[in-house]
Structure 1
């Protein structure tokens, strides 16, 4: 990334409506909502009692994330090995602009998902693929998704699916030769501004911020986020 280009900022793991509204006032590009039931940041849905219609997003959450509240921010739904139908239900209910696949989703699954949603349901939907990184072999696995996804999210490999609060060895990024841009994730915190500014990979698009900016799971410290974003955008070396 050129040192004069603003890195993209994604703040993930949002759930509290008032906190969503506050973070939405910051100069960020993506806001992530986790739809993985085992996550401590899981966003549930309001059940339709008849069981005859798809679940609906909670009314307060829907208001907090509507277009008037988030004019400049894309809504990203995070899923782990969910079914196509489950993803579609959330795309419609939350008016998602992107889905982030954080499990073992295959290239065939991604092709089917895109062909089902685009163009009839959400024509402009973007697909992100999270990759758990601990070695050069993990970077090499990206090749199977090249040209199928719009963005990679490079996260730290751990026993679960993200949320470890730990960083992987960023020197491994030198092994990535693909064409898809990536967001750098995994344990990025308030003290990492200078390290972010030092990342020079041509496919580096921005950062994904989560647990290191929280006072509790799914509740972000807006002041910490604002200060950190101010230190890296715009930046120069």
Structure 2
């Protein structure tokens, strides 16, 4: 089970969340977000994988931020094309493409992107780009029959544990945590995260 903690920015908090056991950390490179990372933090995780989150950024900007933050993955959260994903994939970047799910029909968007993605991330629809802090209907994922593994996102918080432990899918690879563990935008409660991460990794989730 991969645990990604997104919306990181502050150096001390990054250190604390890394110690709490986050496998991946997300750094938002979209200027419209209140968790936007304008400059490279004084500390970047050494054990946790680094994920840069973009929304309709130019390929030049993506390359620049990927280099500055030494990213392990690019997460594309906008209306990026399969052609852009193909180009980035060919250049050697590892990709996560986000899909907001309202209905089964939304799953039909995936096939053109799948050959270029290492993971998909399924999230809750919202206005604009970024998280809504709400969950979507996970039952929709019973209809996902692709080969690309996925990360489950959208409104996951400490009280989501029981529901997560009931969820099953052969391609489910991990979870994405953000506002449900925040004390302020871009500041995570590392103690709550540590408890949650230890619990979910000890169970059959």
TM-score calculated relative to the size of structure 1? 0.84
- Does structure 1 conserve the Cα–Cα contact (< 8 Å) formed by 2:20 and 2:191? no
Q: Deviations over 1:118-150 (max 9, x none)?
A: 2xxxxxx31100111111111221122122100
- Does structure 2 conserve the Cα–Cα contact (< 8 Å) formed by 1:140 and 1:176? no
Q: Where do 5+ consecutive residues of structure 2 fail to align?
A: none
Deviation at 1:72, TM superposition (A): 2.5
Q: Where do 5+ consecutive residues of structure 1 fail to align?
A: 1-6, 46-56, 119-124
Query: 1:64: which partner in 2?
Result: 43
- Does structure 1 conserve the Cα–Cα contact (< 8 Å) formed by 2:4 and 2:175? yes
Alignment RMSD (CA, Å): 1.2
Deviation at 1:226, TM superposition (A): 1.0
- Does structure 1 conserve the Cα–Cα contact (< 8 Å) formed by 2:76 and 2:98? yes
Query: 1:21: which partner in 2?
Result: 15
Query: 2:201: which partner in 1?
Result: 233
**C-alpha distance in structure 1 between counterparts of 2:164 and 2:89, whole Å:** 32
Deviation at 1:113, TM superposition (A): 1.9
Query: 1:188: which partner in 2?
Result: 156
Deviation at 1:168, TM superposition (A): 0.3
Deviation at 1:209, TM superposition (A): 0.2
Larger deviation: 155-164 or 166-175? 155-164
**C-alpha distance in structure 2 between counterparts of 1:208 and 1:182, whole Å:** 10
Query: 1:205: which partner in 2?
Result: 173
Out of 135, 155, 163, the residue aligned to residue 103 of structure 2 is 135
Greater Rg over alpha carbons, structure: 1
TM-score calculated relative to the size of structure 2? 0.96
Count of residues in correspondence between the two structures: 205
Query: 1:173: which partner in 2?
Result: 141
- Does structure 1 conserve the Cα–Cα contact (< 8 Å) formed by 2:33 and 2:130? no
